[in-house]
Structure 1
Amino acid sequence: MKKNNALLAAVTFSIIIGLSFMFVKISLTYEGQLLILAQRFIFAFLGLLLFLVIKPIHLRLNRKEIMIVIIISLFYPIIFFSSQILGLDQTTVYEAGIIQAIAPATTVLLASVFLKEQVRIVQGLGIVFSIAGVVFLQLMNSSGGYDFHLLGNLLIIVSILATAIWQVMSRSATKSIAPIQITIYIMFIGFLFFNVIYFINGGSAGEYIDSLTEIPYLLSILFLGVLSTFGTSLLSIYAVSKLPVIQVSVFNNVATLITILSGVLILNEPFHYYHIIGAAVIIFGVILVNAKKKSRHSKVS
């Protein structure tokens, strides 16, 4: 039962993450990056407070546990959300979605190093294919006369690395700290960090409030704050606490598909033939990474 709940959590957070790229892109048409991040986390924090009213949680941690949570927070939410929004401001949703497909391979690689989860030869080949697909996309963009989104795509890769490190560290941390406790603390740290940065950089309370009168922007921020920030943090940490990191990472494929479709079908972003080739190479690599190991008892022909 717990395994099924963890699988459901993994599917749910992947769908939400897939849609979040589109909502970030929509919000960027209304406001700047710092304001979006500050408001995203104030709504995530409000969602967290509501959750705590409904289900009170014991929050006390010892000094060592607090240091672990602070380190996790550095990668997620601080590095992850900063690099993601900066990247999406410099690239398209579908390119970000395609690059997102390397997340499982990245997670597998880090899990093998830090959690000692075994990486087989076929998985190593999958990692190579995934990276090759991203390189191919960048080369085609630069040589085909289309917009070259090198900086934006590099920032998306940074966000993917931050996600992988966060999942690996969370898998280890949940052995001694409850997933909900980690979620609460990283949400609070994100709320403080991004709001303080916004006001230090000259942000005003008037702009903070007035921007929320635009309904499309408000709906985007609500989705990004409550579901995509607080919701996915809780669901993801819960999933990796019950399942191997490598198994959870495969659900990034769902997020990738939804991100690409939302960019092309809803935002009407241009789509070229080489994106299909690049996506196919990346997805083939992802399939290799997540290929099941043959049983020792299987017959050899």
Structure 2
Amino acid sequence: MSKKSISIKTEKRKAAEGEQGQTPGNIKVYGSAVLFSFIVGFSFIGVKTCVSIATPLETLTYRFNFAFLAALVVVLFGVVKINLKEKPRIKLALTAGFYVGFMILQTIGLLFATSIESGILFAIIPILAKIIAGFFLKESTSWKQNIFVCLSVAAVILMFVLGSTDLTVNLIGLVILFLASIFMAISNVMMRYVRKIYQPFEITFFITAGGCILFNLAMILFGLKNGTLGSYFDPLTHSDFILATLYLGIPSTLISAMLMAYMLAHMEAVKATIFGNLSTAISIVAGVIVLGEPLEFYHILCTVLIIIGVVGLSMPSMAKKEGEL
């Protein structure tokens, strides 16, 4: 074998490893994933604060208002440039659309179903992302990776089941929340699909813009129908609401979406998505530390199992090349 052939193979191997976050330089990819988990994990505190003051629609509207305003400021000051010249915009619209669609379906679904049901259904997003990515992107995982994925998902479901006092089933809510999970899985796969076309911030900018437009439109229509349009700014009279939606909008929407897009540019869809389950474990810790909620033994057990699942899936020795069968 010639030196040239060896060199080409080496470069291909390094490129494949870099794609999956296995090189030392990609430590920042996993650092971004952990940061994403912490941001999302603490977001439930902001949600709890907001829903005690405003409606879910008002919370979502101001959440995306702050997210889009922050993104717009970054663009206007030239910190980040958006270049859509000669790029297929339909793919960007689909990526952002499925993400915003998830937020809409999640909000509607929670009107019918409980947070326990939503937690269980959202826990399966990594499995859905794995199936969809396998079909569209030809990404595959080993049987060992599949075990770690299932372990993490099962631990999240077990945590919600053990923490429930009354398990009720609402079919309409379950269907809507399941569709929401599918939308999020598709959005993640789409972020992975367009990673070589769009920068993470370009994807995030249009997610926040789309959400801002749609939720404000919904607020206006709802206000006109119920005669409450004049109370649009009422939530802003509460400083707690402003602080909470600022957190939900900028770190938990703008930054977390950008981190997810960045993660999906460097690791397989299932690997990036599984960090959403890690955020559930972090939310338990946040509840104990910040809100003084009780810590049960099953919280500790399930958290350990979730972490084992995430770490096991992320281990370099478990990696398979994209498209390998």
TM normalised by structure 2 equals 0.73
Q: Aligned to 1:121, which of 143, 153, 158?
A: 143
Q: How does 1:120-199 map to 2 (within 5 A)?
A: 120-130=142-152, 132-133=154-155, 146-148=165-167, 150-151=169-170, 159-199=180-220
Partners of 1:176 and 1:5 in 2: CA distance = 21
Letter in 1 for 2:198: I
Q: Which digits, 9 at most, give the CA deviation of each residue in 1:120-167, with x for residues without a partner?
A: 12233344445555665676677xxx2326457876665444333222
Partners of 1:131 and 1:246 in 2: CA distance = 12
Partners of 1:22 and 1:154 in 2: CA distance = 26
Distance 1:3 1:85, change over 3 A: farther
* Deviation at residue 197 of structure 1 after TM alignment: 1.1
The answer on whether the counterparts of 1:103 and 1:160 sit within 8 Å (CA) in structure 2 is yes
Q: Which runs of 5+ in 1 are unaligned?
A: 297-301
SS in 2 for 1:202: helix
Distance 1:243 1:127, change over 3 A: closer
Q: Which runs of 5+ in 2 are unaligned?
A: 1-23, 321-325
Greater C-alpha radius of gyration? 2
Q: How does 1:43-122 map to 2 (within 5 A)?
A: 43-55=66-78, 57-62=81-86, 65-80=88-103, 82-83=105-106, 86-87=109-110, 91-92=114-115, 102-122=124-144
Letter in 1 for 2:285: L
Letter in 1 for 2:230: G
Partners of 2:210 and 2:176 in 1: CA distance = 22
| Of 192-201 and 48-57, the range deviating more from structure 2 | 48-57
The answer to whether the aligner puts 1:18 opposite 2:41 as a matched pair is yes
* Deviation at residue 229 of structure 1 after TM alignment: 1.1
* Deviation at residue 230 of structure 1 after TM alignment: 1.2
Partners of 1:98 and 1:210 in 2: CA distance = 34
The answer on whether the counterparts of 1:65 and 1:177 sit within 8 Å (CA) in structure 2 is no
* Deviation at residue 32 of structure 1 after TM alignment: 0.8
The answer to whether the aligner puts 1:7 opposite 2:26 as a matched pair is no
Q: Aligned to 1:240, which of 264, 267, 273?
A: 264
Q: Which digits, 9 at most, give the CA deviation of each residue in 1:4-37, with x for residues without a partner?
A: 4433332222211111122112211111111111
The answer to whether the aligner puts 1:216 opposite 2:237 as a matched pair is no
Letter in 2 for 1:121: W
Partners of 2:313 and 2:30 in 1: CA distance = 18
- Taking only aligned residues, the RMSD between alpha carbons, in angstroms, comes to 3.7
Size of the alignment, in residue pairs? 291
Which residue pairs with 2:14 in the alignment?
Answer: none
Which residue pairs with 2:63 in the alignment?
Answer: 40
The answer to whether the aligner puts 1:258 opposite 2:282 as a matched pair is yes
SS in 2 for 1:201: helix
Q: Which digits, 9 at most, give the CA deviation of each residue in 1:241-295, with x for residues without a partner?
A: 2333344334335412221222344345566665666666666555554455469
Partners of 1:157 and 1:21 in 2: CA distance = 20
SS in 2 for 1:11: helix
Distance 1:149 1:28, change over 3 A: farther
Distance 1:269 1:228, change over 3 A: same
Q: Which digits, 9 at most, give the CA deviation of each residue in 1:21-66, with x for residues without a partner?
A: 221122111111111111111111110111112225234355x722
Partners of 2:177 and 2:45 in 1: CA distance = 14
Distance 1:156 1:2, change over 3 A: farther
Partners of 1:27 and 1:295 in 2: CA distance = 41
SS in 2 for 1:60: coil
